Chains A and B, each alone.
Chain A
Amino acid sequence: MIGFIIITHGDFGRQLVKAAQVILGEQKEVWAISLHEDDGLDTLSKRIGKILRKENKQSEGKIIFVDMLGGTPANASLKFVNDEKVEIIGGVNLPMLIAGINYRRSLPVKELARLIRQKGEESILDVKQRFLNKVSKAKNK
């Protein structure tokens, strides 16, 4: 199983994990790291490194999810860019995390990362327009 580390500004990531667990039930090997005002780049990197070292022995890899490119969570993750078993994905949202959890037992880490990015891109849509299109289609039937 591929482990996940979700790193965000504030407690967004922690709560995102909770939201995913409401839908999918309790999950193992999902860690959330919150960046608070008093955390620096180094402390954050150390916290990430600790999880990676502790859990990387027989692991099939890890995916680090960060909230946005350019922020400290993303910058701190880049320290692990040379680790073959670690993928880093930005713009984390609920559909991405859910897809990741659903497929992390069946795909190798690089393919899983690709699928998660694709699910993330597909998840941003005009819900109002979709609904109205469906309604007008149903009317024309």
Chain B
Amino acid sequence: MSVVLVRIDDRLIHGQVVENWMKFLKIDHVVVVNDFVASDRMQKTLFSMAVSDHAKISILTITQAKEAILNGQFERDRAMLLLVSPQDVLSLIDKGVRIKEINVGGMHYSPDKKQILKAISVSKEDMQAFQELDKLGIHLEARMVPDDEKIDIMEIIKREKTQE
């Protein structure tokens, strides 16, 4: 195996990830891909505390993650990549990483965003990034926890677009 799940979730590591996704997919390596967190010692410590000692944790910048993936560093693991936004996924892809499928788990509301699902709110830039990912043939499913219904996020975004 290598990367088992790529997830967009702006809370990165939290209860749903640790207690549900990791167990469901038997993840043994959590990889946070975020330029800000990777350069902040407090945040790094906080997230590394959230994962049990049985799993590895790496907190990498987008460039570091690209290198690790292309060098096959996760090949022996069942790894889960966590990113905060579709823009970050796009820049990982721009650097040469191939991704087939993305799970969108949580993008929280702020005043400049529009809520399209219970746990997913998107800005104009987010929508655009999702459309670009869609054009690349990447499947985008919205699902908070494994047992939830899989929702095709592009259908919802397309519906939002036609309403505009």
Contacts and interface: CB of A to CB of B under 8 A. Distances in A.
B147 A25 contact: yes
A15 B103 CA distance: 28
B124 interface: no
Interface string A12-28: 00000000001111100
Contacts, number: 37
Contacts of A88: none
Contact of B45 (A22, A23, A98, A134): A134
Contacts of A25: 20, 144-148
Contacts of A139: 41
Contacts of B48: 134
A130 interface: yes
B41 A24 contact: no
A138 B49 CA distance: 12
A124 interface: no
A98 B19 contact: yes
Interface residues of B, number: 17
A134 B49 CA distance: 8
A136 B115 CA distance: 40
A23 B145 contact: yes
A131 B49 contact: yes
B31 to A, nearest CB: 18
Interface in B106-134: none
B40 to A, nearest CB: 12
Interface string B46-80: 10110000000000000000000000000000000
